[in-house]
Structure 1
Amino acid sequence: MAEGLNRFLGDSPLRVIVKLVVVSVIVGFVMTFFGWTPYEIFDGVRYFLLDLWHSGFDALGAVGDYLVIGAVVVIPVFLLIRLVNFRR
């Protein structure tokens, strides 16, 4: 069971807890420095989604363009990396 837990967490539970504490302190410091609160971030995401809904999803047209342009580069690179790693 311990091996499965380590595989799921990516490391031993104690090391994962220490890493999470360190990252939490750093993120908390940065958020305090910029004056951000978790509520403001949640509110920003909520307002973004509401604006997206009220705009009639016009903004998704630009996202679709970005998706196609990016996919032209990303998918061949992904396939190339998978082929190179498959031969090892």
Structure 2
Amino acid sequence: MSDSGLSRFLGGSPAQVILRLVFLSFVVGIILSALNLDPLDLVNMAVNFVERLWDMGFNAIGRLGNYLVVGAIVVVPIWLITRILSMGRTR
């Protein structure tokens, strides 16, 4: 990869990007320390959040399935009756 390609990929010269990343890492480290947060705690919080969303999603799918079955108990017989009655009219 050429220097211009690398610079384009990184968003600036490699030295500038490294300095920017070091500075931002330092600032974020200070903020996290002030908030008494550990990076592993953040990872665990993110994993727990995704797991809760995942579980809620499957619970929602289960509820949708229940709604589908309850609705089908009413809709399918009505549809079947209307189809049977319309067959008698067409002949």
TM-score (norm. length: structure 1): 0.61
C-alpha distance after superposition, 1:58-87 (max 9, x if no partner): 68xxxxxxxxxxxxxxxxxxxxxxxxxxxx
Root-mean-square deviation (CA, aligned residues, Å) is: 1.6
2:57 aligns to what SS in structure 1?
coil
How far the C-alpha of 1:15 sits from its partner, in A, is: 0.6
CA distance in 1, matches of 2:45, 2:6: 35
How far the C-alpha of 1:50 sits from its partner, in A, is: 1.3
Asked if residue 27 in structure 1 is aligned to residue 28 in structure 2, the reply is yes
How far the C-alpha of 1:31 sits from its partner, in A, is: 0.3
How far the C-alpha of 1:57 sits from its partner, in A, is: 5.1
CA distance in 2, matches of 1:34, 1:13: 31
Paired residue total: 59
Larger Rg: 2
TM-score (norm. length: structure 2): 0.59
Q: Percent identity?
A: 37
Q: Which runs of 5+ in 1 are unaligned?
A: 60-88
Q: Which runs of 5+ in 2 are unaligned?
A: 61-91
